[in-house]
Amino acid sequence: MIEDAAHSSTGKITGLMARFGMIRGSRRLHPPYSAPIIAALYPPPLSDFFPAMLFQLDSLKIEALAALESLSDEAALEAFRIDYLGKKGKLTAVSAGMRDVPVDLKKEVGAKLNDVRDAITGGLASRLEALQAAKDAAAVAGIDITLPGRPGQGAGSLHPLTQIRDLAVRTLRRMGFTLADGPEIETEWHCFDALNTPADHPARNESDTFYMPDGKLLRTHTSTVQIRTMESAKALPVRIIAPGAAYRRDEIDATHLSVFNQIEALYVDVDVSLADLKGTLEFFFREVFGPNTVVRFRPHFFPFTEPSFEIDVKLEAKGKEARWIEIAGCGMVDPAVFAEISKKRGDSLFDPDKVTGFAFGMGLDRLAMIMHGISDIRHLIENDVRFLQQF
Ligand code: DAH
């Protein structure tokens, strides 16, 4: 029996020959021979490439799919891809044989080539997918996804200082005050001189204030915004509020921080009176502390107002004796302040003989502490959730 090296399986060859009509009666010279023997004896006039390429494709497919089975990590799969499907890979090498396929067989062989490429590509993809699925499963192994969720921290709420600042701003805006602002690093003139606070005033002491190397300072009160506003005002009336940070060189304890919060107000027009000041503040504190709040104006001294008062609010807690709490400073703007502004502006909008005004200022931290019965100002900056959750 003659065996062509390329015709490793005579049955297969016969099948192929039959498919392509290669067995003809004229070539059946020895009638009793079976078809396989005839095929072996009379190899069909096929070029060598044809069965060789089909067999190569078939065996490549079997080899590749078997190889895939044993690969268990992404790097090995990538090496496999390069080995079989890469530019210099095995499939590419075999498919180079397409060049020699006679035109009438190209379709058949091409389809086989595509089939093998699809099988290898598909096999690789499903291996990768299985690997990823195994990875995902390992990542959540030991996690019981059927357990109910843990309750979170809730939606949170505004800091008590933010709440009180917003309430103060809202209340004063309803009375016609607009928001104003100024820098926290200030000149000595805006913080002191323009506010009629002379060089020998104790507030200007180096141990009371933070001075910058260039002579500027961290503002010790938001009253500076009064000055900034009047410096740039275009017309009367001026009616502003300015919430913001202020700084003092205080020892930190239960009632002092070196940075705290204030709100300042200024109202200047041709006919502002002490009655306006009292009415405004009484209304304000009743809005903040409740309609029955009792407010007292106690004569005091501030360099920038004359007359000046401290405002006390009567606190009545159940079962305790009522007590007065000092809560704000206020007064009628000192004409010396208007004079200094006029000098700076060079005009007469704030002529001390024509205009009057009132001003007040208070600590927002203190307001929050009184309102909520907070005993230590440090709670306001420590960000302790157990404290903050209460508001
Ligand atoms: N600036 C003062 C302080 O920081 C508070 C103050 C008092 C502001 C009286 C005013 C005022 O506008 O008229 O303690």
pLDDT digits (tens, 9 = 90+) for 338-386: 999 999 999 999 999 999 999 999 999 999 999 898 999 999 999 998 9
Based on the domain organization, do 69 and 170 belong to the same domain? no
Q: What's the CA-to-centroid distance between 161 and ligand 1, angstroms?
A: 19
Which atom in ligand 1 lies closest to the alpha carbon of residue 362? 5
Distances in Å between the Cα of 109 and the Cα atoms of 58, 98, 113, 356, 373 are: 11, 8, 6, 104, 90
What mean pLDDT do residues 312-320 have? 86
Domains contained in the chain, number: 2
Based on the domain organization, do 119 and 200 belong to the same domain? no
Classify residue 377: in a domain, yes or no: yes
Domain boundaries, position 255: 160-388
Classify residue 155: in a domain, yes or no: no
Which protein residue has the closest C-alpha to ligand 1 atom 13?
Answer: 330
- CB of 171 closer than 8 Å to CB of 265: no
Based on the domain organization, do 184 and 321 belong to the same domain? yes
Strand extents, DSSP E, 255-294? 259-269
Amino acid at 170: R
Based on the domain organization, do 273 and 347 belong to the same domain? yes
Classify residue 378: in a domain, yes or no: yes
Based on the domain organization, do 123 and 170 belong to the same domain? no
Residue 33 pLDDT: 58
Q: What's the CA-to-centroid distance between 301 and ligand 1, angstroms?
A: 10
What mean pLDDT do residues 234-245 have? 98
Based on the domain organization, do 100 and 214 belong to the same domain? no
Q: What is the DSSP letter of 203?
A: G
Residue 106 pLDDT: 85
* Pairwise CA distance, residues 147 & 152, whole Å: 15
Based on the domain organization, do 215 and 252 belong to the same domain? yes
| Residue with more model confidence, 347 or 42 | 347
Classify residue 366: in a domain, yes or no: yes
Classify residue 148: in a domain, yes or no: no
Based on the domain organization, do 201 and 135 belong to the same domain? no
**Lowest-confidence region among 49-63, 167-181, 296-310:** 49-63
Classify residue 2: in a domain, yes or no: no
- CB of 170 closer than 8 Å to CB of 286: no
Based on the domain organization, do 232 and 353 belong to the same domain? yes
Classify residue 153: in a domain, yes or no: no
Based on the domain organization, do 178 and 77 belong to the same domain? no
Which atom in ligand 1 lies closest to the alpha carbon of residue 305? 13
Residue 213 pLDDT: 95
Based on the domain organization, do 133 and 164 belong to the same domain? no
* Pairwise CA distance, residues 88 & 85, whole Å: 8
Q: What's the CA-to-centroid distance between 303 and ligand 1, angstroms?
A: 9
Please say if the pLDDT value at position 8 is more than 50: no
Looking at residue 274, which CATH number applies to its domain?
3.30.930.10
Other residues' Cβ atoms within 10 Å of the Cβ of residue 51: 19
Task: Give phi and psi for 91, each to the nearest 5.
Answer: -65, -40
Q: How big is the CA angle at 295 (ends 294 and 298), to the nearest 5 degrees?
A: 140
Please say if the pLDDT value at position 181 is more than 90: yes
Pocket of ligand 1 from Cβ distances under 6 Å = 221, 223, 264, 302, 305, 329-331, 359-361
Chain centroid to CA 298: how far?
A: 49
Based on the domain organization, do 235 and 375 belong to the same domain? yes
Classify residue 382: in a domain, yes or no: yes
Q: Which of 82, 106, 139 is the last residue of a domain?
A: 139
Q: Which of 110, 139, 168 is the last residue of a domain?
A: 139
Please say if the pLDDT value at position 222 is more than 70: yes
